[in-house]
Structure 1
Amino acid sequence: MARASTPQRKALVTVVAWLIAFLIFFPILWTILTSFKTEIDAISIPPKFLNFHWTLENYATVQERSDYFQHFMNSVIISVGSTVLALIVAIPAAWSMAFVPGRRTKDVLMWMLSTKMMPAVGVLIPIYLIFRDWGLLDSRTGLVIVLMLMNLPIVVWMLYTYFKEIPGEILEAARMDGASLGKEIVYILTPMAVPGIASTLLLNIILAWNEAFWTLNLTAVNSAPLTAFIASYSSPEGLFYAKLSAASTLAIAPILILGWFSQKQLVRGLTFGAVK
């Protein structure tokens, strides 16, 4: 028997949801507010929430010290490039696992997922040496490859889940009509899984955008994305919280805006096939 939903219960759930959302968003809000403070206000005790001198000086200083737009373009190219490359590899792989299953399909999927459990630092030295010998250090190409490989297990798992919800009879009908394997994937399977592919794409872009470990260890100047841009404001002289907050705000603003405008697509894709 379904539990009755009273107005009081709805109000309580709404309040709790807003409190949880505020707790999750508060660090971002505090970072944005700190970016408009002076350095003295940023470290004042007790902390000043809104009653401080608002200034844009930190943003001007950040832009003078660093080329924000170069770092921004590096982040866009690296995150989008690694995502597109991962989808090119993952879509055929997920198709074969979903529609041509073998006895070892689940074992392969679990092995792929288990690679995410290994600390990245465990393979840093061999990957660094490979990149050094192949001339991929401080290059966008190298970061695109390493981020694609890092997120590929998640992409394959998500696409496999979405593809499993598509009736195999539709693909069989396409084969009977003479569709080749390539046309089956491109013209039949992919359009039917657009919500799942879109959510996978958006999630992978976010993961690649926020990746810091590999970007800090495999880049220097030319291909440094926004994660390295933020790290550059940690210096031996100490942390300048207002300027660091301004750099962080500039780095997270594009991905926050993307997430805000694509939230419906993300929710639709992440719940694709959840309800029969």
Structure 2
Amino acid sequence: ASADFIATMVHGKADSLLGAVYLATSALTSVAPAMNQAMWCHPATLDNIDTLVQRGVDIIGPGDGIQACGDTGPGRMEQPELLIEQLANRFTNGKLQGKKIVITAGPTREPLDPVRYISNHSSGKMGYALTAAAIEAGADVTLITGPVNVAPPSRCKVISISSAEDMLDAAMVEAKDAHIFIATAAVADYKAVSVEAQKIKSTQKTLTLTLEKNPDILSSIASAYQQLFVVGFAAESKDVQAYAQDKLRRKNLDVIIANDISRQDIGFNSDENEVSWIDKNSSTLLSKRNKTQLARDLIEKIATACGSE
């Protein structure tokens, strides 16, 4: 929306089809401002935005950057992908209304010295897509996330962590009053026994590291909070079904979602995935699809499985 049309909305003018529709509708309304940075920063525009917010209009953006006129600053219309996400977040299907869900996502980082760490290739995309889908379903969502390059969905509580121990501490607190726990995070299995205070010098041809097992977040949560519906993820490179079913039993999970990380077209850093839904009685393949759609399908199955639908 231009600065001119935002002013039109504030003053209730119906001198265009769009202005008339805005005045006549009782539907939810969102506005994505798009204008020169000086126009956006002008007190008149900011006052108009405040007025629309007070009337319940959702303001998306604006973005910040180089503009068509050559100026740099706030005022750019947000990217279409972000607009779609923000608009989708305004609607809920109610399948998980009244439920608190805790979701872990992304990798963890286990420090070796002040500049180096052990980690993995997890992008966090699946966990973030599940977070957005759970919000759409009306859930109260807490996202516990390792370091990723994905913007978290709006309307959820975000807790940023680095190490596996950080994630466990946050999960134990947040799961106390939760109904569902979904563990998509790719947690590092091992950490350094001793973290060097100074940077390790690269003067030796070989380097020996002593590692110890990290705490098992999924088992800890399932054991401590038996009222939870617990969903785990298994990223395997071979014997996917067998390893996933063993993990389901050992960790006393309700469901495990298994995927084959040996495939280059799905999984880590990909926008698509193919998984198997495995519970104590059956296994169902969810064929390759966009992670956004897959997340919605999984949330629907979780809602049904835990009796929320």
TM-score of the two chains, using structure 2 as the length reference: 0.21
Compare the two structures and name the one with the higher helix fraction: 1
Higher relative contact order (CA 8 A, sep 6+): 1
Compare the two structures and name the one with the higher strand fraction: 2
